[in-house]
Amino acid sequence: MTLAPTPPMGWNSWDCFGPSVTEEEVRANAEFMAEHLAPYGWEYIVVDIQWYEPSARGGGYNKFAKLVLDDYGRPQPAVNRFPSARDGAGFKPLADFVHGLGLKFGLHLMRGIPRQAVDNDLPILHTDWTAAEVADKENVCTWCTDNYGLDHTRAGAQAYYDSVLEQFAAWGVDFVKADDMIGPYHADEVEAFSTAIACCGRPMVLSLSPGVDLTLDRARHLARLRHHAVCI
């Protein structure tokens, strides 16, 4: 991995829509950016949290909501909010639209693995591991109930992140906002996620959130990740 040459400039759906953004709203903002802001260096269109939650609302999170997942526990766009994702197309049609405007497409993702995948013990793609075998049920986000943490002493945990980023690459994702990573600082999660991006076959910018637990030691750790990934 390499450092982004400049701070990424773009639009993030959270600031206006919270978890509730729809495809129509994303497309409208992308068109505005392409027309009015792209000449000044603005380029990223980022769909923020809970794009896989059909009933997401602007004013907060629905606790223990039923999420849209594939057979391998990977989040999928809720088609009632992102209709171009129907028939298994995922975010590729929306990413293609954004790319067609000369812009780049980004997605938010929570740290860990969906509780729903764990409860149903779904298999992890390309492995003999299952979601229940790699989950760390004691390591959860304090403000969002979607996911459990991952136990990175088990190889299947890395494989899960690899499978998610493999799909992001197929969709055409250029930017990932990985949340609940550094407040508090989860070094093992950061390393695993950065490895998954480095090995997914598509260049992506990794943005870590929320950013409240950064020290010089953390900065040194992040710098080392540029040479960390070992792809298998």
Looking at per-residue pLDDT, the higher value among 148 and 217 belongs to 148
Q: Which region among 144-158, 187-201, 217-231 has the lowest average model confidence (pLDDT)? A: 217-231
Counting the structural domains of the chain, the total is: 1
Is the residue at 3 inside a domain? no
- The reported pLDDT for the residue numbered 210 is 77
Domain assignment present for residue 2? The answer is: no
Burial class (CB within 10 angstroms; exposed 0-12, middle 13-18, buried 19+) of 123:
middle
Report the relative pairing of strands 113-114 and 147-150 from DSSP bridges. Answer: antiparallel
Q: How many helices (H) and strands (E) does the chain have?
A: 8, 8
Mean pLDDT of the chain: 93
Single-letter code of the amino acid located at 17: F
What does the pLDDT read at residue 7? 85
Range of the domain at 201: 10-227
For residue 227, pLDDT beyond 60: no
Checking if the pLDDT of 228 tops 70, the result is: no
Using alpha carbons, list the distances in angstroms from residue 151 to 30, 132, 139, 155, 203: 37, 10, 9, 9, 26
The single residue listed with the structure tokens 């998610």 is 164
What is the percent of the chain with per-residue pLDDT over 90, rounded to a whole number?
83
pTM, 2 dp: 0.93
Is residue 135 assigned to a domain? yes
Question: What pLDDT is attached to residue 132?
Answer: 98
Strand order across the beta sheet in which 135-136 lies: 113-114, 147-150, 135-136
Q: Has residue 80 got a pLDDT over 60?
A: yes
Q: Find the CATH number of the domain harbouring 121.
A: 3.20.20.70
d(CA 222, CA 1): 11
Q: With respect to residue 161, please indicate whether it lies within any of the assigned structural domains.
A: yes
Beta bridge partner(s), residue 179: 110
- Looking at residue 1, what is its pLDDT? 55
Higher pLDDT, 4 or 173: 173
The residue with tokens 């990175």 is: 152
Tell whether 1 is covered by a domain: no
Q: Is the pLDDT assigned to residue 58 strictly greater than 60? A: yes
| Mean predicted confidence (pLDDT) in 76-105 | 98
pLDDT score for 82: 98
Is 92 a member of any domain? yes
